[in-house]
Amino acid sequence: MDESAEKARRAERAREQQRTINAYHRLFLSADGRTVLADLATVFGTGRPAFLAGPAGSYDGIKAAIRDGQRSVILHIEHVIKCQPKGDNEAESEPKVIS
């Protein structure tokens, strides 16, 4: 693949990534989206550890892995909505994260 084709491919990938970031913003930063995200965070426990001891100090690694997987989805959504929304044609190779 020549250099100009590779550059065009990277630019299109950046635009697609920016469209996705913008969609996350439209969805999860709306009033309903914030309500749903808060509910998901409560249900799937982003505020508590995934690896919890059970009764009498027992530990179930499978349940912990499931909880960790559930948490990771919410954490991913929260990370993406911290990225800067902007026009798709202004996409950069790396989205800027809002602090």
> What are the residues whose beta carbons fall under 8 Å from the beta carbon of 53, sequence distance 6 or more?
59
User: Distance (Å, rounded) from C-alpha 47 to C-alpha 72?
Assistant: 12
Token pair for 15 = 């635009």
pLDDT digits (tens, 9 = 90+) for 11-26: 999 999 999 999 999 9
pLDDT digits (tens, 9 = 90+) for 39-92: 999 998 777 777 777 777 777 888 888 888 999 999 999 999 999 888 765 555
Query: Any idea what DSSP says for residue 83?
Result: B
